[in-house]
Structure formats: structure tokens, C-alpha cells
Structure 1
Amino acid sequence: MKNLSIKLHLWIAFVVMAMIPVVFISIFQIRQIYEIIVMFLLILLLGYIHAMRINSTIRILVEYIQKVIGEGYAAQPVNFPKFAPSEFQFMAKNFFDMAKTIREGQQALLELNTELEQRVEERTKSLLRINRELAILNQLITPITPYPGGAKVIGRCLRQFFEVSGVKVKMYLTKPVFSLLGPYEDVPGNDDYDHDAVRENAHRYYVKPIRSGKTTFGHFVVSNSPLTEADRRFLEMLSHSAGIIFQNEILSRTLQQNHAVVKAVLESMYDAITIIDNKREVVYVNGRMAEMLGTSREKLRGLSEDLLFDAVSGILLNADKEFIKQIRQEYGAYKLKIRLANNQERFKVLSAFPVTDDKNNTIGKGYLWRDITKEQEVDRLKSDLISLVSHEFKTPITSIKGSVETLLRHDTHWDEEFKRELLTGIHEDIERIKELVNDWLDLSRIDAKAIGLKREPLRPSIVVDSAIRKLPKHFGNGVIIESTVNENLPLIFGDRVRLEQVVANLLTNAIRYNDRTPHIKITADIDEKYVHIAVEDNGIGISAEHLDKVFDRFYCVDAGWVRRTGGTGLGLAICKGIIEAHGGSIRAESIEGNGSVFTVSIPRYKYVGDKYEKI
């Protein structure tokens, strides 16, 4: 309204300004001026009346517009005065229709917005459930073997699914899976699954097999719970994943068991083993290999083949680089001699072999270091034994043959004393052969663990004194034997003949292996479990390198000396077998050139009631 008033005043001012030139021109025409003034006033009055009419109509229209804006299309149509222009009536009607259309559109938009909000909320809930289901299934992607186990993880997934959907699912495992993977809490075995009840009430149950391929590991069972399509899809995915998990877990456990068995076998082997992959790097060594090289397995793993054989070359004897190169390039067996960290020399057979997978593809190379030191020593000792036995048998047989041929001569008459002398020699030679045969038989019985023992309570002093008396008479010439084994020692329980054989053998060796007048001391000691009988001599002694081998069969410290003194190298091996059969032990201490001490430990026995018992 203010704008309209301003426009009206401007219009009046314009008219006045337009009339000024006319006034000046007709200044002398007073009458005309009067008429003009009257006409101007009349026009001004008519303009004012018309302006007031328009202004009133516009005010009514503005009030109506504000009412429509406030009340919407519920507002009643406006009633304009009769003098109001029809254009304003038309404008008000159109504005009312426009406001009504806007209101209807606004209402439609509100309804649409509400519907969209509901859809977004439903979609959000659906996405949230899918997200939680994915989080549940994501637990099955991570490795689960060996802990906590597939059944426990799947059981946890089912509990989480119950929190999401309210559907309670039970899992039943088949008996092979249940027994192999072990019992789990809240996871029953197939024995707890009532097949008949499920079949009779199939409409009340939803059963989903847990399979992988053609193998069934168990079932998911839902009872008395309505399932949505989303629930069914989830259980289908979970059953498929569970089948794969159980299959992988069973394969993994089987592989672990097989690996543990293979590792235990390799670690328990006496031979050294090394495995090289196709990158020429060490992937496995057992404890024997690390011990042979004097290092740890951790340092050998990942080592290149070149560095490995550089370390091997450091302990090899009499092997050049070409020989090492040949071993690495070819498969086969090679005989080597090595020196260990303790300066012991050992014989090894190195076998190089290809390592292949299930499809017979070569995935590496293996080296097996088999210790043949014992075999080498046995072969050498057997060769020495053949010559020793030949000598031991040849001498008495030759003597017997000569004596018998002498007695059988018809061209000479022998007196009785000479005949007796020859027969005595024949008897001694036969006894010597008998001793050799008995040694062989005893050794065979010891090997077969069939040595017979007639045990009885014995006093150690009786065993020692009897063994001294049974020494050959020719051994007694110049030999000094001092025994301090008294009768007050605790009793032992053993075979008198066999124990006397052991003591006699120790005394015989003390006399034979002596460059001086033999001086032998026999002493005894006791502890809580054993009676220890020691035979000490002043003989030639035994060097440290031979000391731990004197109880080996066929072993002789010096073959040349043995041939001079007699012996097969079986005596101490037989002594060890007899004592061990009694549950005791025998050991040797010696300093080369200063004599030796052999100690026999025999278990003590005590008298309880009417029988002897081992302490």
C-alpha cells in the first residue's frame, strides 16, 4: 500500500510539473487558468477516489492471501466490495486454486516422505542383519585349527544367529566326526540325534545336512520355529561353510598326525638326515645331523646347499672337492670318513635321493648319513677273528695231531711216562678247544637272551675264592693275588658257576696282559643296592681310545699281542652279558702302562621271612 501511495503522489507531481509551462504561457489568461485549476482539482479528486478504491481492494486481497497462507485451502472464498475490479476477484480465485494445489502437493510429499522413511528403516534393519550375518560367517574364514576347533566356532555362530533372528538351531555331528574331532560342549554326537522322531514329525522340523562333496558330517535341526527366507539362506550358507571347515579340520588333523609320526620317526633315527628344496636351501635336518656338524638345527635351516657342504667338508677325511661335487650332482651311495668335534673318527655312507610329491614331481633332494662305524669295526674284527680263531684252533689241533701220530707209530716203543705226557697235552688242547666252543655258545645264548642262570644265595667271598682256585696251575707261577673280600659282606643272589666264570676271566686277563710279575688285588665295597667287586692289576693297561670298546665282541686291543698271549676277544663281552643278565653292570678304568681296574656290580639281596628278595 505504501508503494501505491508513493506512486500516486508522484503521478500528481508529474501532472503539476507538466502544467507549469502552460501556466506561464497563459499568465495573462486568468480565466483559462481558473478553468484549468478547477479541472485539475476535479481530476485530482477523481484520481484520489479511484486510488482509494484500488487501495481498499488490494488491502482486502492481501488479507485474504495471508488467511489462505495460514489456513490453507480450508479458508472461505473472499467477498470483494461491489466497486472492486473484477480482475482482483479473478486473481483471488486463481491464488486460492494455486494454494489448494500447493497444499495437496505438500500433503502428498509428506505421505511420500513417511513411506520413504519406513522403507529406509526396513532396509536399514535388513542391511544390519545381513551385516551381522556376514560378521558371523566371517568367523569361519579365519583359520580355526587346532584351537578352538570347528565345532566350537560353528556352535558360537549358531548362538549369535539366535541373538539376531531368535531361531534356535541345534547341530548334530556324525559319529566318525564326533570321535575324531573330540567331544565339544553343546555339540551332541549323532547318537543323540533322534532320526525316528524327526521323520515322524517332519512338518515340525527343519533339517539341513552339513556336507562337503558326498560326505555328510552332521545336521542342523530347527524345531518349532518359523523360518523366513533369510533364515533359510543363512543356514544354507552356514551348512556349506561348516562342511568345508570340518573337511579341512579332519584333513589338517590327519596331516598333523602323519607329520608328527614322520617327524618322530626321523628324529628317533640313528642316522643323520638333511632335506634340500628346489631352491637349494635346507628345509629340514634332524638332531643327528646337527650333532654331526656340531651346531644347532636352527642354524642349519635355511642354509644354502653350498654352505652346508662347506661345513661338511670341514669334517671329511680324504675327500677332495671333485668328490663333493659328484655327490651333489648325482644320486647314489658314497662311503666317507669323518672326524667329529671330539676327534672321534666315524665311517658314514652318504645316500643322495630325490624327494618327490604325490604326483611324483621332484620337490627337492635328500641326504641320508648312515653311520657304519660299527659295521666297519665288525668287519675288521671278523677278519682279525678269523686269523685269531684259526691260530687258536690250529695250535691245539696241530699239537693233538702230532701227539696222536706219535702214539700211533708202530716202529717205536714209547714208555708209559712219555705216553702219559702226550695224552696230558692232548687233554689240555682239547680243553682249550672246548673253552673256545663254549665261548661261542655263551655268546650265542647272550645274543638270544637265553642264557640260563641257576640262582642261589651266595657270599661274594666264596665266589672270589672259588674263582682263584680254579685258575690253571701254570698261571700260578709267580702271580701274586691279594683278596680282601671278607665273609661279612651282604649276600648276593646269582649263578655261582657263571659269576665264578666272570671273576676267573678278569683274573686271567690280568695275568695275560702283563709284562711284569702280575700283582692282582681283589677288593669289595657295598652301597644301598649293590655289592661292587673290583679286580685291580699292574698290567699293560688300556688306552683311552680303546677303553669304551673292550666289552664289544670280537674286539681285541692289539691283535699282535693277542696272538702272542692267546685270546679271541670274546671274554669281556661274555662277562658283560652274564652280569647284565643278573641285573648288574661292569665297568673298566685304566691308565695305559699302569694297569687296569675292572669293577663288577651285583645287586644285593636280603632275607625276608623264608626267602631272599632283591633290595
Structure 2
Amino acid sequence: MASNTSNFVVPLPPVVKVEVEEQVVPKDFRGYLTRALAWTALMPLFMLAFMHFSQLTHTAAVIDDQQIMRTQQFARSMSARFVSIETFLNTASDMISESIGSKVIPVSRLNKLAEKMPYLTSLKLISYTGRVDFHHGESSVSTAELMSAFAGSEVNVRSFQNEICFGSRVPEADSYDRSFLLIGCEPKEDIAAIFERSVGAEPYSLQIFDSKQKEIFFTSLNDSGNVRPQNLSPEFVKISEQMLGAPIPLWRTNQKRNDSAVLSIAEIPDTDWRVVFSQRVTFRDKQLLSSLLTSGVFLVCGALLALIVGTFLGFRLTNYVQTLIDQINAFKKDGSIKKPDRSFLANAPIELKLLSVQFEKLVRQVQSTQKKLEESNLDLTHQVNLRTRTLNQRNQELRALQFLLAPLQDEPHVVIKRTVESFRLILGLNQLDFVDKPERDRQDLASLPVKLSTGVLGYLSFERPDYTQENRINTSLQRLANSIAIVLENKEMFSSVKASQSRFNALLESMTEGVVLIGKTGSLLYSNKTAREILSIAPGDGIAKVESYIEEHFRKVYLADSPNNPQDFFAGPTRYVSKVDSDFFIEASGFIVPEFHGYVGPRMGLLLRDISEEVSMERMKRNLISVVAHELKTPVTTLRLQSETLQRQIRSGKLSDSQQLLTEMLEESERLQNLICDWLDVSRLEAGSLVIKPKVQTVTAILNKAMKSVHLHFPHLEVSLKVEPEAECVLADKDRMTQVFVNILENAARYNDKEKPTCNVRSEKIDDSVVISFSDNGIGVSEKHLSKIFDSFYQVDMGSGRKVGGTGLGLSICRGIMAAHGGKIWAEQNPKGGTVFKISLSL
């Protein structure tokens, strides 16, 4: 098939031209060289300027470090001096404390000790009454001022106008309140001497103040200006507190440059005193300026000399370079090669001579290469056109295969037919079909099998191509065959997966247990029919958090036989009760689903079971022992008491009441026998071995027999009977039906709080059955218990303290007897009050 694509041609100019970039100033190489030399001179200048700037910054940093170091060194010196003085005072205090007991002050020892401490100019021992017991040296601070300053302190340092005093308390052995004060004072001029040794000849100011913003000392050295101490304003105190904790405790005051100063701060250890060193900014400027004058002069002179020498040397070099430019312009104009003159060959630098020679060689190579490029261009054009046709055909094949392998919108055989027809047109074949069997009898046709590992799926039947196109066409058809095989295999896999999915969904939907699949975020991914009924959700409803939904609608419960109800689904089955219906119980168990259709990775699943019936049976079984014990205990206890009474009467010979006792014992034994018979009937009903002998009986006869039995225990029960003629006779076992009547009538009398309990019996024909209804005026049964009172052992009042006894087997036995007759029994609420029991027997 011919290609519609036009031939590709690589354009090539007939003559190779070498473009030379225009100069900003044509042929002004001298100016260019002068500027280059100027920049060459300026670069060292810039570097030297940068070095001067770095030196200036370094010098400023060194001055700052020196000021911080001197401040901290002064603070440490003051701290060492204070520690030495306090150690001296503590030693003297210990010596005085040892001699206080003998009421003698060691004056001579104190004088010798005071002479060894050169820092202190005076030493006083003051008693708690203000008396000076020892005095060495002179002090300008009065005794009263010292007593007031050191009152209530153990060891302290206090500042006065001209002196700094240190105090130590010397308590008596029997009383702390009766203590002495040992106080030593030092003149503030000593602080100035320490400051002078710390700063040397540098102009600094010293200011000492405490944490209460009280100034202690100020002095200035080597500064002829009007130096004043810093104002201890709240702003200054705040900044100083911040600088104490800063890595670099140094800052500059916010004033005019002539008045501004650089401050550093340090704290004297073990005291609340702050030391501030200050230095004028103008003095620092003088230091920095003096370091720059000498190097700046050398910098300017060097730059001017480099510029002059560069300009002189550029003149000759410019002429030689101009000769090279002329060569280039000649080649640019007509393609010729201009030879340089003799002056250039004799005097030009060797580099420029080599450049001229290399330029001539380059021109000759360009001319030779141009011819070769013209020949290569023709061959390249042919190869590009051939490759373009091949790529276009391959692109069309890929589009057809993409249509085949895309998600199928039509039946596979329709899509395969369309794709095969597209390939026929692309490959230019007269015939190409997908068939079940190849045509062996036609020599002009060839076939290619479409096969999988399971067997051959069909054949591609096509016209035999020319031998020159055979490999290309066979390769394309083989790709088509492989793609068709993939489509057919995917169809079979899809059908198989769909069938398996349908069976799996049908299996889950038919399960009696609820199945819930939970996503990684806790949301509901899937639920079967039973799970939706248990959780009361409609198909398609979403739940953001399944566990939260269950906890919102249900409450975890702990049953008596399950004391360790797990708190996690995967630890074991977890039981819940509905918050709406207290009789609705479910059990949830967790499991892991490794892979689920449509989701990647494991998911958590829940198995939900409706265990309301099981819980109900568990409740009844738990109450069974107490109920049976209660029902059996009454007749057994009565028989025992009556037997003991009868035994005493026989021994005493008084038998006047023996007949009555025997009658009562007979009644209790009959009651016990009835209870045992109920148990046996339940066993027969559960085993399906209850035998009845139905005969035609009248409703009136059965009711009269039942009333005689009931009136023995409930003589006050009034029973009325209304029988329709069509409903007079029934087919039933008289004894068993009488048992049903007796149970219903006894319940009407037993569960009744009226003075005259009544029960209205009515027999009527409804359709093909006789329906006998018993309407009483008793306490009635609530709606939620109506469907459960026929269960074995079920009673509305299951507590041990219930008012009316019973085993909860009567109505269960009635239901079994009616089932054996092919009838049924049920209960309804009486609109007038009480309960209506109805039995139905087929005619």
C-alpha cells in the first residue's frame, strides 16, 4: 500500500559562510584591549578592597571580643575577691563561735587574722544589742547602718557610699536570735584599681549595679570626654537582662554617633551585681580608620600603574590582530584567502602567526567538507523517507491493535472482524480473514494459526505476499494473531470470573449469618442480605465507620456464662444488645480477608449472627433450676410437715385431724405428680413421641370435665360457654384436649387480680376449622411477650420473688398437643382487658 507521506528533504546551503561577530566599535581592538587591561587591574583592586573590608570586620570583632573578655575577667576577679573575703569571715566566725561559750572574745587572734587580709580596711564584731565587741581599722559606715543593712542575713555583701562591706553571722550556742555580726569593709577605690589593671591603657567606663537597679559604683579611665553613667531605666535593665543570657553579651546604645557607646555586661557569680563596660563608638572608629590608611594608598597606586602599562602594550598588539580580521573579512566577502604581509610574519607573536595558518587550513577543509555534505544529503533523504513510510504503517497497525485490545464495547467476534479488515487495508492485501479452519486446497492462500497453550483458536487466512514483502507482512500478521489470542483468552477468563463472582455472591446472600467487609478506613465495603437486616440498612447504604455504627446502635453485654466477653472482634465473638429492642442480641466475630474482588491487600470482615433465641434459651435455662426448685419445694415441704404432724398424732393417740391431713397429703402428692407429668410431656413433645387417640367429642363435654378439675383449686372462677351448632363437635383426644382447657382456665384464674375472675368460652366455625376462644379478665400479657409465652420454661415474671408460681411448661405443652392434633394455639390481647387464647382444629 502506497504511503501518503511526502518525501523528507534535508536542506543544505550551496556555500558555507563563516559569520564574524560585529564589534561594538568596528576594528577598535585597541579600545577592547585597553578595557580588558583595565578590568584586569580592577579585579585585584576589588579583591584588595574585599580583603580590607574583611580586615575591618575582623578588627571590629576582635575589639568586641576583647571588651567581652575584659568584662568577664573583671567579673571573675571581683568574684574571686568576694569569695576570699567571705572565706576569711567564715573562718573568723568559726573561731569566734568556738570562744563564745566561755564569754571571752579572742581579740588578739582577731587582730592577727585581720592583718592577714589586706583587702579589708576595717573589721567589726557587733552583738545583737548593737554593742561593738571588737574593732580593727577605720570605717565611714556607722554601726547602726551596718546593723540595719545586715539584719536577717546569714552572709551578705552590701554597698555603701564609699565602702563595700561583707557580713557573717556568729550565732551563740543556745540561741540563733542572740547572734553576733562580723562585718568587714573595703574601700571602693580598690574596685577602681582592679578595673585599671583589667583595661590597661584602653579608654573604658565601668558601671556596677544590682538586680534592684541600684547603682553601686561608676568610674571612667583614659577618656577625656564628658562620660556619664548609663541611666538605669526599665528599658536599659530589660536589655541588660536579655544580654546576660545571650551568646554575645554586647550591644550598642541607640544615640547619636558621637554620644553612642558599645556596652558589654557580665554578672559577678554568687551575687546579684551586674558589671557593664562601655567604650565610645568614636574611639573605635579611630582604631578602624588607622588600619586602612596605609593599605589604601598602595591599592590606588597599583591600579594606576597597571592601567598605564596595559595601554602602552596594547597598541602593537592591535595592529597584528587587525591583519587577522582582514583575512576573515576577505573570506567572508568572496571566499578567497588573503596572505598576511611581511611585517606580520616577522614581528607578530607566534600565537597570532599560528592562528593565521590554522585559519587557512580551516577554509580549505570547509570547502572539501561542503562537497561531502551535499552527497550525504541525498542518501540521508532517501533513508528518512523509507523509515517514515515504515513508521507510518507501524503506527496504523498499533492503532488497529489498540482498538482490538481496548475494553470491548461489542462482541469479540465483531471487533476481531473490524481489526482484521483494518490490517488488510494497511498491508495492501486482497484477502485477509479470521477462520476456524484453513483452506488447504487453495495454493494462492497462506494461513497463520491463532493459538494458546490450550490449543488453536482459529487461523488467519491471507493472500500469499510477494517474496520481497513476506517477512514484513508475516511479522505484522503474527502480532495480529497474538493480539486476537489475548482477546479470546480474556473473554473466556472474564466469563469464568463473572460466573464465579455470581456463585460467590449467591452463596453470601443465601447465608443465614451476616457477612460484612470493612475497608482500611473502617467504612462498609460489602454486606449480604442477612447483615443488612441485622444492621437495619438498605441495599446501597454506606457506613463511614462500621465499628462506630455498631456501638451507636448496640451495646456490649456480658452474659453469666461469658464473663470474659472480648473487647476486640479478633479476640473472640463479641455480643451486643440493641439499644432499641432489649430482646434483640447479635454476636460479632472478626476475620481477615486476604484478597477481595476489586480491592488490593487484606481487609477485615465481620460475621454477624442473630442470637436472640439463644440468649432467650440461656436466660430460661439459668432460671430453670430456681423455678423447678421453687415448684418442687412447696409440695415436698408440705408433705414433710403433714407427715410429721400425723406421726405426732399417732404417737399421742389423738387422731381427730388425721383424715384432713391425709386428704391434704393426697392433694400435694397429686400436685407433685402433675408437675412430673408436665416434665414427661415436654420430653415426649421434644422427642416427637406424644401419642393421641382422636375421637369425635363435644366441646361442652370437654369443657365440663375441665371445669370440674379447675374448680377444685379455683372455685371462684366463673366460666360461660357459647357454642355455635356447626362448631359443637371436634375430632380430638378427650384427655389431651381437656389438659389444654384446664391449663388455659387455670391461667385465667391464677393471673387475675379481680374479685370475680371470669372466662368466656366461645366455639365457632371459621372456614374449615373450629376456633375455640377463651377471653378472661385477668392482668393480661404485653404485646412483646405474646409470641414467647408458648416457649418452654418462659414466664413473664421470671424472678424468684414472683407472686404466682409455675414452671412455664403449661402453654408449651398446649402448643405441642395442638400441633399433634394438626391444629394451632395463639394468644391475643383483649380490648376490654385481659387475654384471649384461641385454639383451632380442622373439621
Normalising to structure 2: TM-score of the pair?
0.42
| Equivalent residue number for residue 589 of structure 1 | 828
Indicate which of 678, 694, 704 corresponds to 1:436. Answer: 678
Query: Is 1:509 matched with 2:747?
Result: yes
Contact 1:354 1:365 in 2 (8 A): yes
Query: Is 1:421 matched with 2:686?
Result: no
Query: Is 1:138 matched with 2:376?
Result: no
Q: Specify every segment of 5 or more residues in structure 1 that has no aligned partner in the other structure, as ranges.
A: 1-119, 173-197, 320-325, 606-615
Partner AA of 1:506 in structure 2? I
| Equivalent residue number for residue 599 of structure 1 | 838
Counting only pairs closer than 5 Å after superposition, residues 10-25 of structure 1 correspond to structure 2 as none
| Equivalent residue number for residue 570 of structure 1 | 809
Contact 1:541 1:594 in 2 (8 A): yes
Indicate which of 253, 260, 273 corresponds to 2:498. Answer: 253
| Equivalent residue number for residue 724 of structure 2 | 486
Normalising to structure 1: TM-score of the pair?
0.56
Paired residues in the alignment total: 430
Query: Is 1:300 matched with 2:542?
Result: yes
Deviation, 1:506, is 1.5
The whole-number CA distance in structure 1 between the counterparts of 2:420 and 2:694 is 71
Secondary structure, in 3 states, of the residue corresponding to 1:484? Answer: strand
Contact 2:758 2:777 in 1 (8 A): yes
The whole-number CA distance in structure 1 between the counterparts of 2:782 and 2:769 is 28
Partner AA of 2:519 in structure 1? D
Deviation, 1:153, is 6.8
- Structure 1 residues 577, 540: closer, same or farther in 2, change over 3 A? same
Indicate which of 590, 593, 618 corresponds to 1:355. Answer: 593
Secondary structure, in 3 states, of the residue corresponding to 1:481? Answer: strand
The whole-number CA distance in structure 2 between the counterparts of 1:149 and 1:530 is 61
| Equivalent residue number for residue 47 of structure 2 | none
The whole-number CA distance in structure 2 between the counterparts of 1:425 and 1:580 is 31
Indicate which of 468, 476, 479 corresponds to 2:706. Answer: 468
The whole-number CA distance in structure 2 between the counterparts of 1:311 and 1:240 is 49
Contact 1:209 1:239 in 2 (8 A): yes
Which shows bigger deviation, 529-538 or 355-364?
A: 355-364
| Equivalent residue number for residue 277 of structure 1 | 519
Deviation, 1:501, is 3.1
Deviation, 1:297, is 4.5
Contact 1:170 1:222 in 2 (8 A): yes
The whole-number CA distance in structure 2 between the counterparts of 1:375 and 1:570 is 18
The whole-number CA distance in structure 2 between the counterparts of 1:279 and 1:420 is 77
Q: Specify every segment of 5 or more residues in structure 2 that has no aligned partner in the other structure, as ranges.
A: 1-385, 558-565
Deviation, 1:568, is 0.9
- Structure 1 residues 387, 561: closer, same or farther in 2, change over 3 A? closer
| Equivalent residue number for residue 69 of structure 1 | none
The whole-number CA distance in structure 2 between the counterparts of 1:463 and 1:131 is 100
Secondary structure, in 3 states, of the residue corresponding to 1:522? Answer: strand
Query: Is 1:530 matched with 2:785?
Result: no
Deviation, 1:430, is 4.5
The whole-number CA distance in structure 2 between the counterparts of 1:355 and 1:507 is 57
The whole-number CA distance in structure 2 between the counterparts of 1:170 and 1:453 is 76
Partner AA of 1:556 in structure 2? Q
Query: Is 1:395 matched with 2:634?
Result: yes
Contact 2:693 2:732 in 1 (8 A): yes
Counting only pairs closer than 5 Å after superposition, residues 548-559 of structure 1 correspond to structure 2 as 548-559=787-798
| Equivalent residue number for residue 338 of structure 1 | 578
The whole-number CA distance in structure 2 between the counterparts of 1:401 and 1:495 is 36
Deviation, 1:596, is 0.6
The whole-number CA distance in structure 2 between the counterparts of 1:404 and 1:149 is 95
The whole-number CA distance in structure 2 between the counterparts of 1:285 and 1:155 is 42
Contact 1:475 1:511 in 2 (8 A): no
Partner AA of 1:141 in structure 2? A
Q: What's the Cα RMSD here?
A: 5.0
- Structure 1 residues 227, 530: closer, same or farther in 2, change over 3 A? farther
More helix by share: 1
Contact 1:162 1:169 in 2 (8 A): no
Which shows bigger deviation, 390-399 or 226-235?
A: 226-235
Counting only pairs closer than 5 Å after superposition, residues 78-157 of structure 1 correspond to structure 2 as 135=400, 138-139=403-404, 141-143=406-408
Deviation, 1:351, is 3.3
The whole-number CA distance in structure 2 between the counterparts of 1:364 and 1:167 is 50
- Structure 1 residues 149, 493: closer, same or farther in 2, change over 3 A? farther
The whole-number CA distance in structure 2 between the counterparts of 1:441 and 1:459 is 27
Secondary structure, in 3 states, of the residue corresponding to 1:298? Answer: coil
**Identity across aligned pairs (percent)?**
24
Counting only pairs closer than 5 Å after superposition, residues 21-420 of structure 1 correspond to structure 2 as 135=400, 138-139=403-404, 141-143=406-408, 171=436, 208=449, 210-211=451-452, 214-216=453-455, 219-220=457-458, 233=478, 236-237=481-482, 240-265=485-510, 268-271=511-514, 273-287=515-529, 290-291=532-533, 294-301=536-543, 303=544, 305=545, 308-317=546-555, 331-340=571-580, 343-344=581-582, 346-357=584-595, 363-401=602-640, 411=651, 417=659
Deviation, 1:386, is 1.1
Contact 2:400 2:422 in 1 (8 A): no
Secondary structure, in 3 states, of the residue corresponding to 1:421? Answer: helix
Deviation digits for residues 572-600 of structure 1 (CA, Å, limit 9, x no counterpart) = 22323343455544332226992111122
Deviation digits for residues 206-265 of structure 1 (CA, Å, limit 9, x no counterpart) = 794642xx434x643799x97777697477336522552244224423431343134314
| Equivalent residue number for residue 786 of structure 2 | 547
Deviation, 1:131, is 6.4
Which shows bigger deviation, 481-490 or 459-468?
A: 459-468
Query: Is 1:445 matched with 2:687?
Result: yes
Contact 2:569 2:589 in 1 (8 A): no
Contact 1:467 1:503 in 2 (8 A): no
Secondary structure, in 3 states, of the residue corresponding to 1:531? Answer: strand
- Structure 1 residues 318, 370: closer, same or farther in 2, change over 3 A? closer
Deviation, 1:387, is 0.9
Secondary structure, in 3 states, of the residue corresponding to 2:720? Answer: strand
- Structure 1 residues 143, 361: closer, same or farther in 2, change over 3 A? closer
Deviation, 1:482, is 0.9
Deviation, 1:444, is 1.8
Secondary structure, in 3 states, of the residue corresponding to 1:142? Answer: coil
Deviation digits for residues 381-426 of structure 1 (CA, Å, limit 9, x no counterpart) = 2222211111222333344455667778985666984685366346
The whole-number CA distance in structure 1 between the counterparts of 2:442 and 2:820 is 72
Deviation, 1:520, is 0.7
- Structure 1 residues 467, 567: closer, same or farther in 2, change over 3 A? farther
Contact 1:533 1:601 in 2 (8 A): yes
- Structure 1 residues 475, 282: closer, same or farther in 2, change over 3 A? same
The whole-number CA distance in structure 1 between the counterparts of 2:821 and 2:447 is 72
Contact 2:699 2:730 in 1 (8 A): no
- Structure 1 residues 167, 381: closer, same or farther in 2, change over 3 A? same
